[in-house]
Structure 1
């Protein structure tokens, strides 16, 4: 499963015999998504302890956290599926 959704929002899959550049791109996107999630979480944690934070700021942080969680769950599902398949990509 690729770390981005298909055109209809459903999971997108890489053909079993496909390898090379698309596989490398998927790995790079996963790493970027997890890195972004780490940064967003750090900023959100700082924001919620900030005195005077507005509802709009919290809403923005919540939206970004939801996006990152969606990406992280897609990555976890993909990696879990690969483990169940014996690590095959």
Structure 2
């Protein structure tokens, strides 16, 4: 039977980085605690820490009445990247599914 990722039997883990052309990257049948799995855990940890730091920066910048449109656009671009990372982590952990 195929699962939602098209994998026949077994479990596929969505990795916290994109493959060629920005497509999702999966670890197929990898043992939990294996090298790639640990690398993915580390990458997710860094991405979540960076999201927290970016959120704190956004709070500060949005409270600053002197913030310029280019600064706000840059912040929004980084927030979009971070949200993409956080969403990918949520999908990987089974909290959400890809459309």
TM interval, shorter chain, is: 0.7 to 0.9
1:10 corresponds to which of 23, 35, 38? 23
* Structure with a larger share of its residues in helix: 1
Does 2:22 match 1:22? no
TM-score (norm 2): 0.77
Shift of 1:72: 0.2
More contact order relative to length (CA 8 Å, sep ≥ 6): 1
* Structure with a larger share of its residues in strand: 2
Could you list the structure 1 runs, at least 4 aligned residues long, displaced by more than 6 angstroms after superposition: none
Q: In the alignment, is the contact (CA less than 8 A) between 2:51 and 2:82 conserved in 1?
A: yes
TM-score (norm 1): 0.85
Unaligned runs of 5+ in 1: 82-89
CA gap of 1:17–1:47, structure 2 versus 1, over 3 A, is: closer
Q: Show CA shifts across 1:5-32 (max 9, x none).
A: 1112111000214551111000000000
SS in 2 for 1:42: helix
Aligned residues between the structures:
81
